[in-house]
């Protein structure tokens, strides 16, 4: 058996009397897209934030490639191979597409933070930035200001910025949010092509995207994983249909 890149064991997070993460166990294997689905308020984003070190759990253990990261700050976890995208894009709108990715490359290299006055003159940074833009089909937009991009292109740029850190595991927080049909299909294709390069934990409400991409799915309801399995196993699970979609509905 291949050792998982991510191993989450018994993760608990309480906010006062609210149990936001209820003894969650999850693994992500190399080369896998593991989807995390559930209704609004199920605790999905809270779980992602714990994995990144932005929220401290009350109990449990998180391992990246077998190494416990409990207590490590976000920056250390990034160095160990984690990267995250957000529901709302976190980009620099007044800078170009290529400059946004070049800054991520610079940070990964560990050089002193020189910001764009120097970055704009560093051709090596820009050349490497272009390799990540090609991976997400944004080479055509390299010189555009981020503020002028469509919502779909901004989502793909955020993905390129995450890839520039050269992660082993991408934590994707609703990459399809706000996308139209054409943009969603484009994002699905980009993620499918990236699967051979990086494992992913995909938090998503778009079930068409989940079923198209996921190798395994875990269903989170009220902070608890109620089922985990393949796409077909989740579609056929009556507890999932009752708790997530409502009695009598079908996952299709």
At residue 16, φ and ψ (nearest 5 deg) are 65, -125
* Other beta carbons less than 10 A from residue 252's beta carbon: 8
For the stretch 15-72, pLDDT in tens is 998 999 999 999 999 999 999 999 888 899 999 999 999 999 999 999 999 999 998 9
For the stretch 123-172, pLDDT in tens is 788 899 999 999 999 999 999 999 999 999 999 999 999 999 999 999 99
Please report, rounded to a whole number, the percentage of residues in the chain having pLDDT higher than 90. Answer: 73
Q: Which strand ranges, in their side-by-side order, compose the sheet holding 18-28?
A: 18-28, 6-15, 59-64, 67-68
Q: pLDDT at residue 91 above 60?
A: yes
C-alpha distances (whole Å) from 66 to each of 12, 27, 220, 237 are 20, 11, 24, 31
The rounded distance, in Å, linking the Cα atoms of 164 and 75 is 15
The rounded distance, in Å, linking the Cα atoms of 71 and 62 is 10
C-alpha distances (whole Å) from 147 to each of 130, 139, 151, 175, 218 are 19, 16, 10, 18, 35
- The DSSP bridge pattern shows strands 18-28 and 6-15 to be antiparallel
- Domains identified in the chain and CATH numbers: 1-81+168-252 (3.40.50.300), 93-166 (no CATH)
Q: What is the pLDDT of residue 124?
A: 81
Nearest alpha-carbon partner for 218 in 39, 19, 31, 35:
35
């Amino acid at each position: 058996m291949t050792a998982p890149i991510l191993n989450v064991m018994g993760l608990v997070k309480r906010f006062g009397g609210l149990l936001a993460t209820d003894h969650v166990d999850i693994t992500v294997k190399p080369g896998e897209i593991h989807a995390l689905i559930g209704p609004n308020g199920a605790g999905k984003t809270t779980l992602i934030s714990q994995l990144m070190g932005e929220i401290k759990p009350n109990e449990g253990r998180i391992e990246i490639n077998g190494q416990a990261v409990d207590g490590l700050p976000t920056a250390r976890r990034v160095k160990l191979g984690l990267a995250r995208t957000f529901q709302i894009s976190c980009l620099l709108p007044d800078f170009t597409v290529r400059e946004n990715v070049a800054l991520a490359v610079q940070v990964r290299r560990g050089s002193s933070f020189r910001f764009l006055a120097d970055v704009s003159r560093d051709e090596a940074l820009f050349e490497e930035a272009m390799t990540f833009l090609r991976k997400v089909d944004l080479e055509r937009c390299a010189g555009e200001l981020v503020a002028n991009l469509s919502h779909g292109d901004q989502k793909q740029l955020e993905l390129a910025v995450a890839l520039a850190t050269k992660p082993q595991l991408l934590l994707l927080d609703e990459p399809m949010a706000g996308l139209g049909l054409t943009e969603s299909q484009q994002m699905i294709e980009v993620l499918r092509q990236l699967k051979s390069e990086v494992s992913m934990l995909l938090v998503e409400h778009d079930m068409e995207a989940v079923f198209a991409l996921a190798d395994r799915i875990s269903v989170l309801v009220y902070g608890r994983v109620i089922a985990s399995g393949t796409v077909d196993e989740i579609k056929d699970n009556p507890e999932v249909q009752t708790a997530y979609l409502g009695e009598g509905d079908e996952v299709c």
